[in-house]
Structure 1
């Protein structure tokens, strides 16, 4: 059965391929005359269109180009689909389709180039027309501006003339006002003389009331300031206790700060250049130079467990915002930290914490003998400070004694002068009594 059926006719796959090739050829033949007709119609319509219809023409040409491209793409896609669908390759049919596609694409590209050149020419013509119109409008606007300027000049001259007339009228009115003012001043002189007495009385009453108010306000302020002072002292003491507990420091308020920050800087620089012994002596001598101003001494405690009595001192003036290191620690590197605090670049708490760290780091670098030497210098400095304080106290006591002695001598001199005057008066009275001369 199969052998008999086989040779009766062609294979169905070959029939399908032939049908597809015929359809492709028919489509290509139909597309080529359609494209030619569209191009001819477009070339015929170009001279009839005006210059102002450029956007519609551009859109129409773009639509024509898009239609041509779509037709070419559809033909290429159909040819590709037919080639993919065929299981067996037919070389002659595919070559003919490719040649037809290449010819259609070359014709479409040439038409696109021609259309592009024509579009550029139309655009150039439009630009030239727009430029001519802009120049005409600019000339018209310049003429209009010239007319407006001439009108403004006329208005300016008229306004100047009116201004001169107004000035003349103002001068006349001023003269009249001066005459009227003279008459009014003569009338006001009497009224002012009468009001002066009443105003003086009111001023006295107001001053009395203001003095009473000031007195009451000063009493209230004194009470507030005294309470604030007590509160500030209590807060300061609480802060001192807190710093002693948290930071391991002891704060003392002492008199006799040096006069300026320059002395502190010079002492620190001299201490850097000199040896450790000269540093301690220079710091003690600079501490002895006081200007009578108070300062705050901060003692850093518990720096080294083996030597609990070893302490470090830093003097701070909150009024002048200056500080310095006292004792055997000038080489500790606190000069930069003191400068930062003087420039207000760090806070007081940060200054304390950093200075404590620096002291501890310095102690870690020292050996035991150096620590003992530092302790000895510290004790010597403390003794010197105590001696200086004792000397100051003695000087103050001597000064007080001298003042008391001078006051006592002045009192004695006054008493002697009074006694002499009394004696002279008694002698005069006795002489008068002996001579029986009435007094006076």
Structure 2
């Protein structure tokens, strides 16, 4: 049955490998079940209801990804987008969470239309090959950076940069460092499930350090919201309507290119990108993202997107949709075991993110650094992802630099017309930002 649905043997994998990969992916992204409700609760939403909405929407989106696209990528509420939801739209602009959920719902519907009409897939294909490699490498460095920050190994310094935590030898930072060593050793001796095993061992090591503690709470699954929208509020006056359009466009932009970047990076890591630069079943993968966002807004959570942490499962050998389905099942189980999953510290998931970053940076070796019209945009893509803490901004400036430098160098014929269209959309986005 599983072989018929997921064609596991054809993808040089096994059921055991796919299950381990799915659990590993879930473990690296399970933090979203605590972080997303915490962020959205600042907008006035109930923690428990958002927790349920996050788990259910993540499960549904991952099931769609696994069963329709047969790709090993999981989805959940996107980090960054949830912050825009609470701190920009609700707190900064003063709108209700119902108003913000209405914007997310409309974004999801627009994405479904863009996906069905192949526009989103065309955007993925339009990104030049060297930029695809740069995106994969940049995302790898970015998630390693996230791991270092989440574990407290690096912290913000007075100059608004990051620096080594002066107390790196205490608490969470030292537990994470030990975890990196253990996980790296397990990988070096080719232990199957090394990332997952390393995560579990690190969780146990965190107990005597006071890093791993039992989260507590009820094992009874809470109920999510349902259709908490405020469309009447949107059309109450011209300013509100214009703000709504701007917010929907903002959600569209970040979701579009975060997902594109993640798909390219994870597909590159799993070696499934075709010679023409396309990703198998990209349309279905993007549809899973759109459906997840729409369903998530109905249940009461912010934009759902493909998670870069999926690369942890890919690194464990996940190659089919069974990996995503297993991750989805874990999200369903989490509804009943929230206190246990909430007990896994970020110090235990950080080593997996950091080591996956090592694995994902390998495409940088094949970037053509001898051709500066290729090398400079690739470097810009990578450095912006890390320094701006944004996958989408890295893609935006990478594409813009690519188009401008190619045109100024007289190599404009090397560009596909859809690349020009994507660049024009980025320019429009920058103009909107300046005006706003």
**TM score, norm. by length of structure 2:** 0.18
Larger fraction in helix: 1
Structure 1 length-normalised TM: 0.18
- Structure with the greater alpha carbon radius of gyration: 1
